[in-house]
C-alpha cells in the first residue's frame, strides 16, 4: 500500500476510535480498513455483551465547511435487530466528521490543499 493510502487508513481508524458515540456503546476491539472498497469493519464489544459485534461502515472523503470530512453514508451490523435500527436511523442521512477534529497531532499538518491531494 502507498504512503498516502496508509495515511488515509490511519485517519479513518482515528476518527472511528475517537468517536464519542462509539465509545458510549462499548469498546472497540479491532478496526479493519478496506481502502479499495472504502469500507471500515469495526469489532465492538458492546456494553453488557460478552461477544464482539461486527459493524461495517461505508465511507468517502468530501470537502466540508471545516475542510476535508470523512463521510459515512451507510452503516450495517451483523446483528439483525441492530442492523434494522441502523437502517431506520440512517434513512438517507450521512454522518460527517471533519478530519481536523479527529486527526490529532499526527495529522495536524494535513490541511487545506494538501488534504485535498491526500483524500
Rounded Cα gap, residues 62 and 42, in angstroms? 22
For 23-63, the DSSP string reads HHHEEEEEEEEETTTTEEEEEEEETT-SS-EEEEEEEEEEE
2-39 pLDDT, tens per residue?
A: 777 788 898 899 999 998 988 999 999 999 999 999 99
Rounded Cα gap, residues 113 and 119, in angstroms? 10
Domain residues for the domain of 104 are 3-118
Number of domains in the chain: 1
50-109 pLDDT, tens per residue?
A: 999 999 999 999 988 878 889 999 999 999 999 999 999 999 999 998 887 765 544 544
64-75 pLDDT, tens per residue?
A: 887 888 999 999
Q: How many separate helices (H) and strands (E) can be counted in the chain?
A: 5, 5
pLDDT for the residue numbered 5:
74
Amino acid at each position: 500500500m502507498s504512503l498516502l493510502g496508509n495515511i488515509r487508513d490511519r485517519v479513518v481508524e482515528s476518527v472511528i476510535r475517537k468517536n464519542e458515540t462509539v465509545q458510549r456503546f462499548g469498546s472497540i476491539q479491532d478496526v479493519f480498513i478496506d481502502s479499495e472498497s472504502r469500507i471500515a469493519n469495526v469489532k465492538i464489544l458492546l456494553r453488557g455483551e460478552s461477544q464482539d459485534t461486527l459493524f461495517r461502515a461505508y465511507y468517502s472523503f468530501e470537502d466540508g465547511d471545516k475542510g476535508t470530512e470523512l463521510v459515512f453514508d451507510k452503516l450495517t451490523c451483523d446483528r439483525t435487530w441492530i442492523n434494522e435500527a441502523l437502517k431506520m436511523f440512517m434513512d438517507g442521512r450521512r454522518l460527517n466528521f471533519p478530519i481536523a477534529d479527529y486527526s490529532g497531532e499526527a495529522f495536524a499538518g494535513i490541511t487545506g490543499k494538501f488534504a485535498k491531494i491526500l483524500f
